[in-house]
Structure 1
Amino acid sequence: MFTGLSAFPLTPIPGNGSVDEKAFATLVNRLATAGVDSIGALGSTGSYAYLTREERAHVARVAVDNADGVPVIVGIGALRTLQVLQAAEDAQNAGASGVLLAPVSYQPLTDDDVFGLYEEVTANLSIPLVVYDNPGTTHFTFTDELYARLARLPQVASIKIPSLPADTAKARARVEHLRRLLPDTVTVGISGDAAAARGLNAGCDAWYSVIGGTFPEPALALTRAAQTGQHERALEESQRLQPLWDLFTRHGGSLRVVAAAAAHLGLTAQRNLPLPLRGLDAEERAHLSTVIERLQLHT
């Protein structure tokens, strides 16, 4: 389950309204039909931090119900360990195949804080867990020593790492180093879509993908090329998608871009982000639409 393409869809939330269940179900079913290897509900792209416990539990159920048997990994990050445990319980009750946990915080966390969080959560889990290393959002940086400690906890099945060095040899050396630290039962997944081809070519087992949640076909093409040893083809597909990566950089991340893309494709309403997030303005949406058409991502 923690290999190949894990696609993370948007959770459409129209302004101050509740989750658009119909649109979310459509997004999830679309991914299942495309043939992704797993679906990541309530990741960063899924705006989990903006939802109540009840809303998150409901989204988890809708994801599982509409995934057509594709494994669903549910994000359970929260400020307090109690809230994380509640989210984990709700995800398991919804039928999730796994959970994804980032160390969310307001006060800075220490390594011991983070280890204690995962230790308590995994002790109460009956399904596998992905360790989510997302320093750009959490402002917490995992050390290799902490990776190794966490990987020995029960239920830890994968580590979602941030970007790798741009140099091919250094990227491969980094992944090989992680392999030596981690048990064989723990996979390594790359996040940061612009680094996906580099990560998969360097030996990562999975791509935890933002664009895969809205544009599964090109994400699958890149993933399958890397998985079958067609490394140049994977790099070429990533280079073809460079205009999207540039937009992610320009807008300080991927969420606003994929939200506008989903609206452009008619998969959600125009307003699909929780306030105070405003999304892209009209000029920026027009630019994105041009990129989508030029890359032939509209089908």
Structure 2
Amino acid sequence: MLSGKHVLSERPAAPIVGYWMHEPMEQRNQVYRDLRVAYDAALASASHFGEHLQRLKSNGNLTEKGVREAARKEGLEAVERIARNKMQATAALRRDIAARMATMKMVPIDRTDVVGEMQRRELREHFNSLTAPQRERAIDAADDAMLDALLSAPAVLVKAEPSLLERAATKRMEKRFGPEMAILNDLQQAVDTVERAYDAARDEIRHGLGLQSHEFEALAGPVEQPAIEQERAKVEKLPMNEQPIVDTDKLAAEILALPYADRERMLDLALDTQGGKLGKAA
């Protein structure tokens, strides 16, 4: 059974949250457990406001104007908490993931190695002499030497479609960073899910207050922005995580311990997410 909620309400315009799809790693990793707590809290924040709104409406001592004013006050307080909690849950982690991803680069090629450069040119010439179907198979079977030969040269010197070079770049990066790349992409997906949950809760509050988007933003912005800036300043003062977000060796063992379907999903996610980027970077 899937955990969480795909959407927070059945109204047609309700934004998508997405189910929590990270239970296998949640059971093994504290970072995932913390994100799950934040995800559940985001979902609950919308429910709490809805329940409070119903209590206000059923209070016979309040006029319609009184209900509206009390609801708006409570709604803006909830929006401020959501903005603060969202930053606390994801900002530092998002920064550290981005920093670690930025270190994942192609293996540098020694251009002063004349013999090596000649060998790479010969490999490219052989590759270019192949038919299109043969080139496809050659990428699938390529070793590091062939991949480096293709990726180290300008694209005009390689007889291959951009999509084929992207596959080559993805394969080269996956061979070097595969386990860590898989977990960082999965972790990024978890962070995105938490942020969508908070954003959806915010939109449920807007809807509960009966405000159009521009009306809501005019009220919420002055309340949210100070909270966001305060939390951002705290993150900026935090030192970068001196240790890797994950222990790669331990992670590899944890991935291998996952059920086959979960392991394949994570590796597929790494390839699907990174493929286009890596091709361009090459």
Same fold (TM over 0.5): no
Q: What is the TM-score with the length of structure 2 in the denominator?
A: 0.20
Instruction: Please tell me whether Structure 1 or Structure 2 has the larger radius of gyration of its CA atoms.
Output: 2
Larger RCO (CA within 8 A; separation ≥ 6): 2
Q: What is the TM-score with the length of structure 1 in the denominator?
A: 0.19
Q: Which has the higher helix share?
A: 2
